[in-house]
Structure 1
Amino acid sequence: MTITNGSTDNKPFRIFVGYDPREDLAYQVCRHSITKRSSIPVEITPIIQSDLRAKGLYHRERNNLESTEFSFTRFLTPHLSDYQGWAMFVDCDFLYLADIKELVDLIDDKYAIMCVQHDYTPKEATKMDGAVQTVYPRKNWSSMVLYNCGHDKNRLLTPEVVNTQSGAFLHRFQWLEDEEIGSVPFVWNFLEGHNKVVEGESSTVPKAVHYTRGGPWFEAWKDCEFADLWLSEMEEYNKEKKKKEGN
């Protein structure tokens, strides 16, 4: 694994996961799914809004369109990485089904960020536990992003900018030129209920399922597509947790 711009081969790959107290279990299962399958060292950190507020890094008032506590805090990833090396941000409602090394191997230093460039318009008016489903250009692009934290353009993502800039500026990556945004295959941010597996085409099989409408940890979404995979992962996580607590 060769990651430049301030990181070395010996350092774990940094992964920041959006955290919301209502979805603690989703975070734990997402974390478990990454670490269990990873063949490279990873360092996984939850982005917890209350912690960022306590440190003075985040003071933005929450508005009604923010469905999670990490709607904006995600953009602090380069700052939390000291603007060095590569790091990933991912929503907590992901289930990883492949080795994260495969994703890291796609990293190209010529880009400021890399992500799945979805063309996605949700059909539902609500998601999760009744949160408003918003529609905007580049929707879901920011739900899993590889950040080239040492890139000059990403130094613009200061806490002040993250606290004051519009949702459009941040979620549409308006601090970047289009050619500075690299593309990742959609299977790394496979939108449950939107993307489809094509029989006989291995390139369409998800490597990371994104339960963007709501996952099985919400009663309303307990029967969603790929719910069985998430529930199986949750059972495994719970067993390992009990074993550790018993020791």
Structure 2
Amino acid sequence: MTVSDVGNALPLKIFVGYDTREDIAYEVCRHSILKLSSISVEIIPIKQSDVRKSGLYWRERGQLESTEFSFTRFLTPYLANFEGWAVFVDCDFLYLADIKQLRDLVDDKYAIMCVQHDYTPNETTKMDGAVQTVYPRKNWSSMVLYNCGHPKNRALTPQLVNSQTGAFLHRFQWLDDHEIGSIPFVWNFLEGHSQVDENDPTTFPKAIHYTRGGPWFEAWKNCQFAHLWMKERDEYLNEANKGN
């Protein structure tokens, strides 16, 4: 039995980057995953305040960190006890397909799997005015399938995550290139960059990433696919209100 076979019998752990400015984005992302999932999942927000309190995170915030989870994301294998497969995803995602389809892509020969974007943003700012940075492998780390039990991922201790550079972490430099698997771009479909071919269903997004800024920010309320996010938000709010 492989690591992925064992993992399939357990809830899939999905760690979502959480930012206090984007609580509604987290809730809508979570709602979209749960609504469509045909498998058992456990959704866990990575809140910087929590990992600081627990002694797992102590580095000072740098000027180029546009979110509270810029570096905490790399604690995913540690938080999963270095067991099975787990997903990390930024909170500014909207899922349009069953997360089981993503889990079914896992291949135990890889330490991680992600969409290997060739992406250079045109904007100089994003979200609510944060600086838009350009670097190799940009957005690769925004949605990652981690083979948490892979020996190489044991390098991702709190000590390393708190001390290494952004370049080392976001470019996955604790791994060799052949240990990084590729998944279709539709699982990290970059709003404003990725393209749909109406004649090719394989290009239709399965998870939209509002990487420039989503409609929960005033400046981005009319971005591409804003209507889909707002529809999901309204569904979430209606259900939340019924529960009160």
TM-based fold match above 0.5: yes
Corresponding residue for residue 38 of structure 2? 39
- For 1:194-225, what per-residue CA distance to the aligned partner results, in whole angstroms no more than 9, with x for missing partners? 00101210011000000000000000000000
Alignment of structure 1 residues 3-22 onto 2, 5 Å: 4=3, 7-22=6-21
Instruction: Please name the residue that 1:68 is paired with.
Output: 67
SS at match of 1:103: helix
Q: For residue 111 of structure 2, what is the aligned residue in structure 1?
A: 112
* AA matched with 2:64: L
CA separation in 2, counterparts of 1:62 and 1:3?
Answer: 39
Unpaired segments ≥5 residues, structure 1:
none
Look up the match of 1:148. Answer: 147
Matched, 1:90 2:93: no
Give the direction of change, closer, same or farther, for the CA distance of 1:29–1:38 in structure 2 (3 Å limit).
same
2: CA distance, partners of 1:33 / 1:174: 32
Q: Retained in 2: the 8 A contact 1:6–1:150?
A: no
Matched, 1:162 2:161: yes
State yes or no: 1:193 paired with 2:183.
no
CA contact (8 A) 2:4 2:106 kept: no
Q: 1:3 to 1:200 in 2, by over 3 A?
A: farther
**Equivalent in the alignment of 2:176:** 177
Residue 133 of structure 2 corresponds to 134
- Counterpart in the other structure of 2:226: 227
Aligned to 1:241: 240
Q: Tell me the equivalent position of 1:207.
A: 206
Report the Cα distance in structure 2 between the residues aligned to 1:86 and 1:6, rounded to whole angstroms.
Answer: 10
State the TM-score, normalized to the length of structure 2: 0.98
Equivalent residues of 1:6, 1:85 under 8 A apart: no
Unpaired segments of 5 or more residues in structure 2? none
Counterpart amino acid of residue 203 in structure 1: T
For the structure 1 residues 184 and 9, does the alpha-carbon distance in structure 2 shift closer, same or farther, using more than 3 Å as the test?
closer
In 2, Cα distance between the equivalents of 1:200 and 1:40? 30
Supply the AA of the counterpart residue of 1:107. Answer: V
Distance across 2 between alignment mates of 1:154 and 1:56: 20
Give me the TM-score of the superposition, normalised by structure 1.
0.97
- What RMSD, in angstroms, separates the aligned Cα atoms of the two structures? 1.1
Deviation at 1:234, TM superposition (A): 0.1
Q: Residue 187 of structure 2 contacts residue 207 of structure 2 at CA under 8 Å; is this kept in 1?
A: yes
Count of residue correspondences: 244
